[in-house]
């Protein structure tokens, strides 16, 4: 995988939240950054990865990177629109 060096302008710490918490927090946070900027999400809910991928497909935002960091999934999303 290509190293992603994009610096997120905002972080959502959704660790310890359960479905639909991480998706809700992602939807709220994406509105608080500008188009072209990157949002970082940290989540421990096993549904976070597939759900945020589906959310991104539906809302037309771009997932730059997903990685597992211990118990947490770290997702970088670029606001496209």
Of 6-14, 34-42, 51-59, 68-76, the window that binds another protein (rule: CB under 8 A) is 51-59
Task: Please identify which residue in the block is written with the tokens 């946070």.
Answer: 29
Q: Does 23 bind another protein (CB under 8 A)?
A: yes
Widest CA span in the chain: 31
Q: Which of 59, 64, 65, 74 binds another protein (CB under 8 A)?
A: 59
What are the Cα distances from residue 45, in Å, to 2, 37, 49, 77? 25, 24, 8, 17
Q: In 1-81, at which residue ranges do the beta strands (DSSP E only) sit?
A: 10-14, 38-43, 62-69, 72-78
Q: Does 58 bind another protein (CB under 8 A)?
A: yes
Q: Does 65 bind another protein (CB under 8 A)?
A: no
Catalytic choice (11, 16, 18, 19): 19
Number of residues in contact with another protein, rule: CB under 8 A? 18
Q: Is 48 a catalytic residue?
A: no
Residues classed as catalytic: 19
């Amino acid at each position: 995988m290509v190293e992603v060096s994009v610096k997120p302008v905002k972080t959502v710490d959704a660790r310890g939240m359960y479905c639909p918490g991480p998706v809700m927090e992602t939807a709220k946070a994406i509105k608080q950054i500008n188009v072209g900027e990157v949002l970082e999400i940290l989540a421990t809910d096993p549904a976070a990865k597939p759900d945020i991928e589906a959310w991104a497909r539906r809302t037309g935002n771009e997932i730059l990177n997903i990685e597992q960091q211990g118990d947490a999934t770290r997702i970088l999303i670029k606001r496209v629109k």
